[in-house]
Amino acid sequence: MKPSHPQHTVGRLIGLALVAILLTACGEAAKETSSRPTAAKPALSVTTTTPRVIDWPQTLKASGNIAAWQEAVIGPEISNYRITEVRANVGDVVKKGQVLARIAGDAVESEFAETRASVAEAEATLAEARANQKRARQLTESGFYSPQQNTQSQTVADTALARLNATKARLQSAELKRSKATLLAPDDGIISARAATVGTLTQPGQELFRLIRGGRLEWRAEVTAAELGRLKPGQAASLNSPSGDVVVGTVRAVAPTVDPQTGNALVYVDLPAAAAGVVGAGMFARGEFRLGQRPALTLPQSAVLLREGFAYVFRIEADKAAPKANPKVIQTKIATGRRLGERIELIDGGGLDAQARVVASGVGFLADGDSVRIVPAPSATESKP
């Protein structure tokens, strides 16, 4: 075997040295590239907002039925007479003294006329008896009549007077019956029920009409015994009608007792006269009582994310090590309360205070730890509740 030429050996050594230098340079470049921080790409351009402390009205929610303030039951005061005319129907607005129905007017008038004639007859009989008694007294004084005959004539006159008084009493009864043959509204109000029908024979205790006095309605709200002490007459209350309209009323009375079976008590809320066109007696309604105002920490509802039954906000967290870098968001769990307009109350803000910055909208596109780019808010200010 021939020995290698010296020039070939030197060439191989130089080649190996160059390869080693290239490998070392590539390793350093790769190391430098891996150690260099990569800039995070912003996930979303967002605007920010801060929690605001505002005075919110305190409310107490309740539910209950709409009922008539007072409902008068109107029935016949004379019995065994037929109804001849009906002038009112359900929903009619009537005035006090307005005719609702008439009952057998001809029969009652005939009875009244007969009794009045009996009074005239009794008056004539009494006049004759008194004249006879006067003559008897004169004849007795002259000796032509005995005292017994005078006494008899006096008795006849007294009996005639008694019969006249009895007949006058019957006349008063007939006149009263004649007045009761016309069924009148006892007060202003709204007819809520009608059972009167032409041709029906009236009976004692029979119900012909029901009248909501004054057209006034009330909301009988049920509250628990613990909530009862927070309510008092004069407080404002509002309820939602089935049509979606809001009716505002005033607490008239708070029940002094609690139902031992349900543990609830009734609160009576007077409703305005205009409510009769929106709600009706017998309806079920939900509403709330206004108990005053109290400061509350609030956020726009658009800043709150509802996910899997919980509420979250995304708090802005700046990178202190790199102040110029895009900030990140931290998903923070909160507990919410009432809603008023476009704002929502924070019962437990998860450590948020009035200086904390959170994402104002678009929270559904964010995840915990995302980088964001903060842009100025629109010129329109947030609406106040």
- Token pair of 141 as six digits: 């004084």
* Category of 189 on φ-ψ map: left (φ > 0), alpha (ψ -120 to 50) or beta: left
Is residue 380 a part of any domain in this protein? no
Residues in the chain with pLDDT values less than 70: 1-43, 319-324, 349, 379-385
On whether both 124 and 232 belong to a single domain, the answer is no
Q: Are residues 236 and 166 in the same domain?
A: no
pLDDT value of residue 18:
60
CA dihedral of 146, 151, 157, 162, whole degrees rounded to 10: -170
The residue segments making up the domain with residue 86 are 73-209
194, 209, 224: which is the final residue of a domain? 209
In a domain, 383, yes or no: no
Question: In this predicted structure, what is the pLDDT of residue 25?
Answer: 55
The CA distance from 221 to 369, in Å, is 48
Whether the CB-CB separation of 64 and 284 falls below 8 Å is answered with yes
Name every residue whose Cβ is closer than 8 Å to that of residue 192 and which is 6 or more positions away in sequence.
Answer: 68, 71, 90, 210, 211, 212, 281
Cα separation, 159 vs 152, in Å, equals 11
| Cα–Cα–Cα angle for 162, 163, 165, rounded to 5 degrees | 65
Looking at the fold, whether 131 and 143 belong to one and the same domain comes out as yes
Tokens 């903060």 correspond to 374
Res 1: pLDDT: 44
Paired tokens of 121: 């007859």
Cα distance between residue 45 and residue 373, in whole Å:
5
- As a three-state string, the secondary structure of the chain is CCCCCHHHHHHHHHHHHHHHHHHHHHHHHHHHHHHCCCCCCCCEEECEECCEEEEEEEEEEEEEEEEECCEEEECCCCCCCEEEEECCCCCCEECCCCEEEEECHHHHHHHHHHHHHHHHHHHHHHHHHHHHHHHHHHHHHHCCCCHHHHHHHHHHHHHHHHHHHHHHHHHHHHHHHHHHCEEECCCCEEEEEECCCCCCECCCCCCCEEEEECCCEEEEEEEEHHHHCCCCCCCEEEEECCCCCEEEEEEEEECCCCCCCCCEEEEEEECCHHHHHCCCCCCEEEEEEEEEEEEEEEEEHHHCEEECCEEEEEEEECCCCCCCCCCEEEEEEEEEEEEECCEEEEEECCCCCCCCCEECCCHHHCCCCCEEEECCCCCCCCCCC
Q: Do 26 and 88 sit in the same domain of this protein?
A: no
Are 308 and 284 found together in one domain?
no
Q: Which two tokens stand for residue 172?
A: 């008063």
Q: Has this prediction a pTM greater than 0.75? A: no
The CATH number assigned to the domain holding 311 equals: 2.40.420.20
Do 189 and 121 belong together in one domain?
A: yes
Same domain, 302 and 348: yes
**Separation between Cα atoms, residue 177 and residue 350, nearest integer Å:** 79
| Residue 144, in any domain of the structure | yes
Look at the block and give the residue holding tokens 């803000």.
Answer: 349
Let me know whether 77 and 205 are in one domain: yes
Last residue of a domain, one of 250, 272, 291: 291
Here the CATH number for the domain that contains residue 221 is 2.40.30.170
Residue 379 counted as domain residue: no
Q: How many residues does the chain have?
A: 385
pLDDT at 379: 59
Write down the pLDDT at residue 276.
Answer: 77
Verify that 107 and 193 share a domain, yes or no: yes
Does a structural domain hold residue 382? Answer: no
Q: How many independent structural domains does the chain possess?
A: 4
Domain membership flag for residue 304 = yes
Instruction: Using the 3D structure, point to which of 188, 209, 230 is the last residue of a domain.
Output: 209
Tell me the longest C-alpha to C-alpha distance in the chain. Answer: 206
Residues 248 and 369 in one domain: no
Identify whether residues 27 and 49 lie together within a single domain.
Answer: no
Q: Using alpha carbons only, how large is the chain's radius of gyration in Å?
A: 49
User: Does residue 319 share a domain with residue 240?
Assistant: no
Domain contains 120: yes
Q: What distances in angstroms separate CA 347 from CA 103, 284, 314, 337, 358, one per listed residue?
A: 67, 31, 17, 6, 16
Residue 260 in domain: yes
